[in-house]
Structures are given as C-alpha cells and as structure tokens.
Amino acid sequence: MPTSAPQPHRRPAAIVAYAGAGLFIILLAVLHGVQPHMISDATISKYALGTAGWMLQCAFVAAGLAYAGVGRLLSGRPALLSWLTAAAFVIMGAFRIDAVGPNRIASFHGAMHTGAFFVVAVLAHVLMFARRSEAKSAALRVLPFIAPVLVVTGFILPGIVGALLFRAWTLTLVAWVVLTTRETETSTDLHSSLPAAPVIV
C-alpha cells in the first residue's frame, strides 16, 4: 500500500500563515499606541481614517495572507472557506470604512469594506466549525463557540467594554490561524516521519 509523500508546499504556506498573523498583531498594537484616543471605538476599522490608517489597511492584508497560508495547508471545504476569508480580508484592506460606518454606508469604499467585514465575520466562524471535528487541541475546539459571542457582545455593549471584547474577537481570528497552522504542520511532520509501507506487487 503506497504512502503519500510529504507535500513541499506546506512549509512556505505555514511561514506565510505565521508571518501574516504576526504582522497583523504587530500593526494593530502599534496603531493602538499611535492613536490611543480611539480605543473606545468598537470597530477597529475606524483606525483607517486616521493619519496612520495605512497601517490598518496593511494589517488587514496581512490577515488575508495568514488565511491564504492556512488555505494552502488545508483541503476540501475548510480550504475553500479559508481562501474566501482571505479574499474578504484583502478587500477590507483595499477599501476604507465610512466615518459614519458600519451602521450607515455613505460611499462605494464604505460599502465594500463593510460588506467584506460581514463576510469575514460569517465565514471565519463557519471555517472554525468546519475544522473543529479534526482539531486535536482543546483551544481549537473551544474557539468556534467563543469567537461569535465576543463579536456580538462587542457590538452590543457600549464604551470601552464593548471595544475590548471586539478586539479580543479579532485576536481569536489570528489565534485560530496560528493554532491550526501549528497543528496541521505537526501532523504532517509526524506523517512524513513514519516509515514507508512496503508496496505489494
């Protein structure tokens, strides 16, 4: 019975996933230091309207790269969901939210950004649940239940509490990428280290 050979694309894909997730977190942290007065705003998208807004746009693109890396590691439905989530993140980076958003849309840019955000909010959670049955770590089995609660309560609750919950939600999105990449990479390494089964002719 032949054994499947290790897939050489997995290491670069994992590097892209890790780098995208790390860059997203770094840029977001810097933005909070550069524009601390916006911490009480529930949606981080408003940071794109400030003088350092380009950093947030780059952060969204980085998140897109992270999900693209995961999409390369996965297969089937989870891979498709990951690629679609990646595309939505890139669109969020390409278009800025309206100053009156996300409750109101005043421009094409605002419509594209807000629409892409809701695509991310839906697909990322569907992806988490789609991959949950294959997850080995407890964190990956719990995150699909925690993330939706964080984003909903982050929007509902006013002031700093809602803002912090919303930011915690964004961290669950990149945490899922890192944990899934690590788990997928580990399982691949273990599989490739197994001795090849003899081929019966």
pLDDT per residue, tens digit, the chain (201 aa), is 333 334 556 789 999 999 999 999 999 999 988 888 888 776 788 888 878 889 999 999 999 999 999 999 999 999 999 999 999 999 999 998 887 667 677 789 889 999 999 999 999 999 999 999 999 999 999 999 999 999 999 888 888 898 899 999 999 999 999 999 999 887 654 444 444 444 444
Residue 88 belongs to some domain of the structure: yes
Name the domain count of the chain. Answer: 1
pLDDT of residue 196: 46
Any residues with CB less than 8 A from the CB of 164 and at least 6 apart, and which?
154
Residues 168, 153: Cα–Cα separation, whole Å: 11
Note whether residue 26 is domain-resident. Answer: yes
Q: Is 126 helix (H, G, I), strand (E, B) or coil?
A: helix
Asked if residue 201 is part of any domain, the answer here is: no
Nearest to 128 by CA among 172, 188, 167: 172
Residue 76 sits in which domain range?
Answer: 10-185
Please report how the helices 10-34 and 159-193 are oriented relative to each other, as an axis angle in degrees rounded to 10: 160
> What's the pLDDT at 14?
94
Within-domain flag for 123: yes
Nearest to 60 by CA among 79, 45, 43: 45
In a domain, 198, yes or no: no
> Does a structural domain hold residue 2?
no
Q: How far is CA 47 from the centre of its chain?
A: 18
Residue 192, domain member (yes or no): no
Given this model, what pLDDT does residue 199 score?
A: 46
Residue 95 lies in a domain: yes
